[in-house]
A and B are shown apart, each in its own frame.
Chain A
Amino acid sequence: MSETTSQLRERRWGMVIDLDRCTGCGACVAACKAENNVPEVSRRDAFSGRVMNWIRVAHSESQERHGPSAAYPILCLHCDDPPCTKVCPVHATYVGVDGIVGQTYPRCIGCRYCMGACPYTVKVFNWHEPQWESELRAHTNPDVSLRPKGVVEKCTFCSHRLQTARDDAACESRDVEESDYQPACVEVCPARAMTFGDLRDPNSDVSSMARSPRSHRMLEELGTEPSVIYLKERERRV
Chain B
Amino acid sequence: MSTTTVEVLVIGGGATGAAALYDLARRGVRALLVEQHDLSTGTSGRYHGLLHSGGRYVVSDPATAKECIDENRVLRRIAPFAIEDTGGLFVATPDDPADFVPKWVAGCAHAGIPIERLTAEQVRAAEPALTPRITAAYRIPDASCDSFDLIHAFVEAARHLGSDAWTYQRVTRLLVEGGAVVGAELEDTRTGAQRTVHAACVLNAAGPWAGVVAHQAGLDVQIKLNRGTMVAMNTRYIHTIVNRLRPPSDGDIFVPVGTVCVLGTTSIDTEDPADIHIELWEVSKMLAEAEPVIPGIREGRALRAWAGVRPLYVPPEDRGQEAANDHEVSRQFAVIDHAKRDNLRGLITVVGGKLTTCRLMAEHAVDVVLQQLGKTIPCTTADEPLPVEEPRRYHELPHRLHKLEHGERGGQLICECEIVSRPQLEAAIEAYGDQPVALDDLRRDLRLGMGPCQAGFCGYRAAGILQQQRGDPDGIGTRALADFVEERFRGVYPLLWGHQLRQFYLDELIYRRVLGLDALIQPLNAEEQADAG
**A complexed with B:** no
Q: A: which residues have CB within 8 A of B?
A: none
